[in-house]
Chain A
Amino acid sequence: MDNLRKILFVDDSAEDAELALEALSEYNLANEILCLRDGSEALDYLYRRGEFVERMDNDPIVILLDLKMPKVDGMEVLRQVKSDPKLRVIPVVIMTSSREQTDLSRCYQLGANAYVVKPVRFDDFATAVRHLGAFWAIVNDPPPYARSH
């Protein structure tokens, strides 16, 4: 059942999403990759609100989270997820362009499971995404279901 759980990719950049999907496509991962465009969509999804109120699937196997997004940014999403006893078991990987020291330390303090700076070079970017996907979807044992439907 685990391999049915989705990878949640939250990024306002359609291009980054496309590039990431392109990179991951080479792996033919069984997991569906759900791309959401900002923090509020991500929270709606996780809390089954708004357009996701009827959502039936399990919580994602990993959340790949961009930091700088319109409306609710990645930091806020991270904060809510990690302070919610039900959601905090979901691994959250920060994927961002920023190497700012403050971002790094804040994210880890809030409980991020990993922090990856997106490389400019596509090869490197693709490699990073592939590694991440492979690690979290295949290598890593995810936490047991919090909720099952």
Chain B
Amino acid sequence: MEERKSKLTISATKENRAELLSDRAFQRIFESIVGLNLVLTPELKICAVTNSYLAATMTTRHEILGKGIFEVFPDNPGAPDSLAVSNFARSFELVLQTKMPHTMALQRYDIRNPGNAGVFEVRYWSPINTPILDTEGNVEFIIHRVEDVTDFVAGKTAGGNREKQTQLLLDRNYEMEVELVQRAKEILAAKKTVEEHETRSRQLQSLIDAMPDGVLVVDSDHCITLANEQCHRMFGFPPTALIDSNLQSLIRESVTISDSHVVLTKPSDEITWKYGKHQDGSEFPIHVTCGIVNSDDHNQKIYSIRDLSDLHRVQHELLESEKRYHSVLDNMLEAAQIISFDWRYLYLNDAAARNGKQNKDEMLGHTLTDRFPGIDRTEMFSVLEECMAHRLTMTQDFEFTYPDGSVAWFEFNIQPVPEGLFVLSLEITDRKRKDEESRITNLLLDQMVQERTVQLREANKELESFSYSVSHDLRAPLRHIHGYVDMLSRSLDGQLDEKSQRYLKVISDSSIQMGHLIDDLLAFSRMGRQEYSENVVSTDEIVNETVRAISAETDTQHINWSIGPLPQVFGDPSMLSRVFTNLIQNAVKYSRDKNPAYIEIGVEHDDGEFVTFFVRDNGAGFEMAYVHKLFGVFQRLHRQDEFEGTGIGLAIVRRIVNRHGGKTWAEGEVGKGATFFFSLKKA
């Protein structure tokens, strides 16, 4: 269906072209029409006239064309009763208004005798006025067709008294009437033909104008008789400016048209001229085909011209970019090579030659085995063979041994291409060496870590057995010292002087103190090693229980307790209990000289994740300068005879809170009191 349609279109175009080309011929035909025809513009100016009309009115084309009809044919001043001009004018007006043909009654319209100025000859006319409408339906032209019936009318008026003559005249009249009708028909038909031609011509013109290629028609002298819009645009001319100019002006001067297509014998042959000349003098690439116009005038040729500027620019850009890629490929760091199916180097870039340690020219065209004897026995080559045979893409690292024995590593990227294989390779010897080094380093590190782990495990084991020993063995001698001193003092009862008794007491007290130290140290060490369980712990309960227990032991001391609402936290219940116990015990101990003592336990800050607890007292306090020592093992800010203790309690607090992910800190002032803070994860 589609195909048929397009064929139809083509044939229609050919036909139209033929008719359009006979446009001028049509003009000539029109002028030679036997009928008396005048073509008027809506302003009633004469724009075309037939030869017979000229003869009948004794005028020439030259003197009437472009003039108003009443200017050329005024009323005869000698026939004052003539209404011809006004009748004609009314008829034209009617035609313009109704856009319908109007046939007038017989008119007397005298015409001027050109040989005898001022003399009018009597004429009777049978006129018919027909409008020609343009595509919008407006009157474009009026065809004024007349028949000179002067002789007939003269006969009718002169010989009225004779029967025969009358009959003759009647017959003649009848014939005339018939003829008139006949003429009217002819006039209508002629008008229709003119209309059709005009319409077709317009259609064809717009069709040709719409063509993307430039279209030119020239006559035998290369004079342009037709050029479409595209053609004008292409060569930089305003519409219609090219008509009547010579084709030679549109092409390069060095090429003459006759050179180019003298042998043009059949339509649509390609023309050798490659460049058109623009109106501004610049040249541009064109592609031209030529055909012979299929009409009577075989010297007419039609050219179809295509502007190749865009195509050439694109081609040029393509070429440029190809060049660019080529140069990029040549200068790139990675080696690129194309290897043919018979293992020859088809292409090598500079890096490839460099990697091969040979000249590019030595390698190009030669086989791999030529240039690198023994290469066919390498793993690299077998991989290449596989890629070549099975058209595989592959990326792999290879170690390559040069003919001189040196060795290098390459990362190969192999791709099948129509010519064979495209191989990109990058030397990675350094990287390989570094990889190897880091592999060895890692291996050593691993070994070291393992060794350290074993050492640590052993150290940990030792520490455990150490603390076990401490637990068992260190206390026994102390116990013995204390026991035997006791037994000694009893067995020497009454025999010892005061000094000796004091000595024995110091020995005894020291052994007890050392026992405490050992116990605390073991407790601290245990805190680090003890299994840790995470539960939801109610600090409220822990604190109340602790306070109850401590209050029971310190019933002589007057303490005002203030315990705020305390939240639930995550942690190990026994460890957290130890934290509160140590801190509260400290608070009690260091505020024992105050009466009453104030001890406050509460929560100060809650950031959503962690909550800060504090234990505040109004006791001895401490100097902030030494705050950093507070939480250290066996670190004390008070003498033994002021406040007894081993200095392990806060160290244990810090260790436990740290294990819970929290922080510990303190504020204090000598004589005013101290506040201990710690944070725990909220439950």
Interface residues of A (CB under 8 A from B): 13, 15-16, 19, 22, 67-68, 96-101, 118-123, 125-126
Contact = CB atoms under 8 A, between A and B. Distances in A.
A35 to B, nearest CB: 15
Contacts of B522: 99-100
A97 B472 contact: yes
B473 interface: yes
Interface stretch (B116-124, B141-149, B176-184, B475-483): B475-483
B185 to A, nearest CB: 135
A100 B471 contact: yes
A120 B526 contact: no
Given A96-B472, A99-B471, A119-B479, 4 more contacts: A19-B480, A97-B472, A97-B476, A118-B475
B486 A123 contact: yes
A78 to B, nearest CB: 15
B512 interface: yes
B486 A122 contact: yes
B350 interface: no
Contact of B512 (A68, A99, A120): A120
B370 to A, nearest CB: 79
Nearest to B514: A120
A139 B465 CA distance: 38
Interface in B508-556: 511-512, 515, 519, 522, 526, 530
B459 to A, nearest CB: 19
A16 B479 contact: yes
B372 interface: no
A121 B472 contact: no
A15 B483 contact: yes
B468 A100 contact: yes
A122 B519 contact: no
Contacts of A122: 479, 482-483, 485-487
Interface size classification for chain B:
20 to 34
A15 B472 contact: no
A68 B470 CA distance: 11
Interface of B: 467-468, 471-476, 478-480, 482-487, 511-512, 515, 519, 522, 526, 530
Given A16-B479, A19-B479, A97 B512 contact: no
A121 B482 CA distance: 6
Nearest to B469: A68
A112 B485 CA distance: 32
Nearest to B519: A99
B479 A98 contact: no
B578 to A, nearest CB: 13
A16 B480 CA distance: 7
B515 to A, nearest CB: 4
A22 B511 contact: no
A98 B480 CA distance: 15
A27 B522 CA distance: 34
Contacts of A68: 468, 472-473
- Listed from nearest, the 10 A-B pairs whose CB atoms lie closest are A120-B515, A122-B483, A122-B486, A68-B472, A97-B475, A98-B471, A15-B480, A19-B483, A122-B482, A97-B472
Contacts of A96: 472
Nearest to B478: A120
A125 B483 contact: yes
Given A101-B526, A123-B486, A118 B473 contact: no
A144 B292 CA distance: 143
Contacts of A97: 471-476, 479
Nearest to A14: B480
Contacts of B475: 97, 118, 120
A126 B480 CA distance: 12
Given A98-B471, A101-B530, A120-B515, A13 B476 contact: yes
B480 A121 contact: no
B530 A22 contact: no
Contacts of B483: 15, 19, 22, 122, 125-126
